[in-house]
Amino acid sequence: MQNKKNAEGKSKVNRKPERGFHDDKTIHKIIDEAQYCHVSFIQEDQPFIIPTIHARLDDSLVLHGAKASRLIKQVSTGNEIAIAITILDGLVLARSVFHHSMNYRSVVIFGKGVEITDDKKKMKALKAITDHILQGRWDDARKPNEKELKATSVISVKIDEASAKIRTGPPKDDEDDYSLPVWAGVLPIVKLIGEPEADPVLKKGISIPDYIGRIIK
């Protein structure tokens, strides 16, 4: 991953540098766990930021969308873009308002997009995106037909430069505030999967797949 280990580029963590990470393992783990990202770009001097589903294939992110989509059109031009990913882990409540914070894991990525035109590579990317939504779904659902494949653009964004920033642990108050009679600590935020809600027109006799059953137990 070019320049990623060099913390002096665009991905340098300036504020709280002790929270910054530039290794593949940390960055990839956050990318893979997060279920969506925000892609930012500039079009005709106007900044935009759009949330979308992503997946990682080696050192690249893959995105997809309708060929007419503003995001896809812009990203496929090869212009520089930035992608932000955040996972919220907890609310950090300090004794003073000034030191309130959040525990989080985040990644900022800089790169350029290239459209995937080879049908086999395109299907591989779509499989990665589908299984990123829910592992095992691609093998269960109908695959894109020729018309759907032509109407969909898939973009690969090589992760040219990236950094992770992570905050963990309890609040950090000023020494004089530790004696204040104010509750302080962390409220953990945990993602929970609820009970499946079947499509009202689902055919009778179709049971919940094993790959869903495993994550709701």
For residue 88, what pLDDT is reported?
A: 98
For residue 5, what pLDDT is reported?
A: 44
Asked whether residue 97 is domain-assigned, the answer is: yes
Asked whether residue 164 is domain-assigned, the answer is: yes
Burial 145-168 (b: 16+ CB within 10 A, else e): eeeeeeebbbbbbbbbbbbbbbee
CATH number for the domain harbouring residue 107: 2.30.110.10
Q: What is the pLDDT along the chain (217 residues), one digit of tens a residue?
A: 444 444 555 555 555 556 677 899 999 999 999 999 999 999 889 999 999 999 999 999 999 999 889 899 888 888 899 999 999 999 999 999 999 999 999 999 999 999 999 999 999 999 999 999 999 999 999 999 999 999 999 999 999 899 999 999 999 999 999 999 999 999 999 989 999 999 999 999 999 999 999 988 6
Q: What is the pLDDT of residues 31-67, one digit of tens each?
A: 999 999 999 999 889 999 999 999 999 999 999 999 8
Distance between CA atoms of 60 and 48, rounded to whole angstroms?
Answer: 22
Q: Are 159 and 104 in contact (CB under 8 A)?
A: no
128 SS3 class:
helix
Asked whether residue 204 is domain-assigned, the answer is: no
Name the token pair of 185.
């600590």
pTM of the model: 0.88
Write down the mean pLDDT value for the chain. Answer: 91
Number of domains in the chain: 1
Asked whether residue 1 is domain-assigned, the answer is: no
Residue with tokens 């990525």: 109
Asked whether residue 104 is domain-assigned, the answer is: yes
Q: Within 10 Å of residue 90's Cβ, how many Cβ atoms?
A: 19
Residue 22's domain spans which residues? 17-190
135 SS3 class:
coil
User: Which letter does DSSP use for residue 188 in this model?
Assistant: E
Where on the phi/psi map is residue 34: left (φ > 0), alpha (ψ -120 to 50), or beta?
A: beta
Asked whether residue 5 is domain-assigned, the answer is: no
Asked whether residue 144 is domain-assigned, the answer is: yes
Distance between CA atoms of 132 and 55, rounded to whole angstroms?
Answer: 6
CA dihedral 30, 71, 192, 187 (to 10 degrees): 60
* Whole-Å CA distances, 136 to 9, 43, 118, 133, 152: 38, 37, 23, 9, 21
Asked whether residue 51 is domain-assigned, the answer is: yes
